[in-house]
Amino acid sequence: MFKVDQKDFEETIQKNTEKTINNGTLRGTIWESCRNLLKDNYEYEAYILLLSTWNIVRFKIAITSFKEQEFRRLIKINGKIFKKLDGLKFETTDFNDTELKENIKTIYNSYRPIKGLEITGTVKLMALRNPNLFVMWDTKIRTLYKIDKGSSEDYINFLIKMKEIFKGIKWDNKIKPFAKAIDEFNYYKVHPEIK
């Protein structure tokens, strides 16, 4: 397992932030729009916007058969579980905690079978709902960290691995949670096409 140093982490996040601001990329704007929708209690709309832009390849294939009512039902059920996780932060959370693991598995396993969400979209929704706690992944990030399957247990192990890899990093940014910064670091490193 490799370590990330403070300088590389900060420089990578700074480059990503500058690229988003200077090039006017829509990615960051959409994230903030989705977060604002959540704050205004438009959870379904926030998730659909995120899926249709940040998970577009999988979501566009599934859109014609997307089960809207089932998805709305799961949002309501999972909302109660998410409330239990409100206030938790990646940097201070023990992902080996049994109750926390069960809550993560319940949310993950309920969304993952939905066409258009699956492995990557599910985690994006979880991170959108609680960006202080959940680190996103995609296929390339999973490959980097040698995760092949994408089960709920794999995701929990990924979070544990992220804690280990990034444990020496100090992060006191008031705008961006540490979990979101880790995602941006990983994304920037495995997607050279965005540099």
- The structure's pTM equals 0.91
The DSSP code sequence of 38-71 is HHTT-HHHHHHHHHHHHTHHHHHHHGGG--HHHH
What are 164-190's pLDDT values in tens digits?
Answer: 999 999 998 888 999 999 999 999 888
- Residues 50 and 121: their CA atoms lie apart, in Å, by 9
| 104-122 b/e (C-beta count within 10 Å ≥ 16 → b) | beebbebbbebebbbbbbb
Q: How far apart are CA 100 and CA 82, in angstroms?
A: 11
96 vs 156: CA distance, rounded Å = 8
One-letter amino acid for residue 86 of the chain: D
pLDDT digits (tens, 9 = 90+) for 107-117: 999 999 999 99
Positive or negative torsion for Cα 36, 87, 95, 13: positive
Task: Give, in order, the Cα–Cα distances in Å from 81 to each of 41, 105, 177, 178.
Answer: 16, 11, 21, 22
Q: Is the pLDDT of residue 22 over 50?
A: no
What are the tens digits of pLDDT across the range 35-77?
999 999 999 999 999 999 988 888 888 888 898 999 999 999 9
